[in-house]
A and B are shown apart, each in its own frame.
Chain A
Amino acid sequence: MTLVAIGAAIAVITGIGAGIGIGIATGKATEAIARQPEAKKDIRSSLLLGCALAEATAIYGLIVAILILFVL
């Protein structure tokens, strides 16, 4: 059981990537809005899309971790 739990914990490390990705994307979006406030709407929608795509990796990690815990 301990080894399985460690495996699941390693799978959740994918969250790091998603965190860095979303952080960079949000930072750039804030910069872009500061530079061009009139483009706020477009920037927001592409930021949302990018965040959703970046977040997906963390979600895959979560699913793998849950599968490891409950299926193995």
Chain B
Amino acid sequence: MLDKIVHAINEAMANETVFTIPIFGGIPVSQSCVVTWIIIAALVVISIIFTRNLKLVPGKRQLIIETCVGFLRNFFRDQIGERGMQYFPFLATMIIYIGFSNIIGLFGFIPPTKDLNVTAALALMSIVLVEIAGIRAKGVKGWLKSFAKPVAIIAPLNVMEIAIRPLSLCMRLFGNVLAAVIIMEMLKAVIPVGVPMVFSLYFDIFDGFIQAYVFVFLTSLYIDEAIEDED
């Protein structure tokens, strides 16, 4: 029993290389990358199917996608306001990708967000976007000045936040998904029938969507903070 559990944890921790592209001395392609390709392909196909011949008076198919996009737009408009809506495409892409990759465990794939490299890349992307949004909204001078707010003495803390924010974003997503994968693997090793299904409902679906929501929610919060003008 204990051996099984240890084996399950080891398997969940491992980040396997699926194959190696034989150019430039071999580029290793990891499992998370291949699953990401699958997600990209699925999302592209879904997008093409749903956005083919759009009409002014929506049919059933168009109604579904309009409801989804409208929901996302309203949600982000509440968070970042009308000024921040120029970053809506990025945030929406992010929430769809993270949401899909978190629940892909249902279809028997390994979630790519279980890989620390993936979440680190996502967090880096969002912090770069946050800082660029700040520079675009305030100009370089205003952006530099914003580090000394509200008082000049906490400037070091504000600079440190540039590193802490992506670190915590990345670790939160990675830790949650990894914990879910480990617990599911352990459950499957101990009780293979019936019980994992119930827990999968929580760990794969609920937790997956909550984490996608939290990731994007925090990113939009940071963007909102970066583009607000106080003076």
Contact = CB atoms under 8 A, between A and B. Distances in A.
Contact of A52 (B13, B179, B214): B214
Nearest to B175: A59
Interface string A23-51: 00000000000000000000001001100
Nearest to B221: A49
A13 to B, nearest CB: 16
B13 A48 contact: no
Contacts, number: 37
A48 B213 contact: yes
A63 B168 CA distance: 12
B175 A62 contact: yes
Contacts of B171: 56, 59-60, 63
B38 interface: no
Contacts of A62: 175, 178-179
Contacts of B179: 59, 62
Contacts of A59: 171-172, 175-176, 179
A49 B179 CA distance: 19
B116 to A, nearest CB: 9
Contacts of A56: 168, 171-172, 175
Contacts of B178: 62-63, 66
Given A48-B217, A62-B178, 16 more contacts: A48-B213, A49-B218, A52-B172, A52-B210, A52-B218, A55-B172, A56-B168, A56-B172, A59-B172, A59-B175, A59-B176, A59-B179, A60-B175, A66-B13, A66-B178, A70-B13
22 contacts: A45-B217, A48-B210, A48-B213, A48-B214, A48-B217, A49-B214, A49-B217, A49-B218, A52-B172, A55-B176, A56-B172, A59-B171, A59-B172, A59-B179, A60-B175, A62-B178, A62-B179, A63-B174, A63-B175, A63-B178, A66-B13, A66-B178
A21 B46 CA distance: 40
A39 to B, nearest CB: 14
B148 to A, nearest CB: 26
Interface string B200-231: 00000000001101100110000000000000
Contacts of A52: 172, 210-211, 214, 217-218
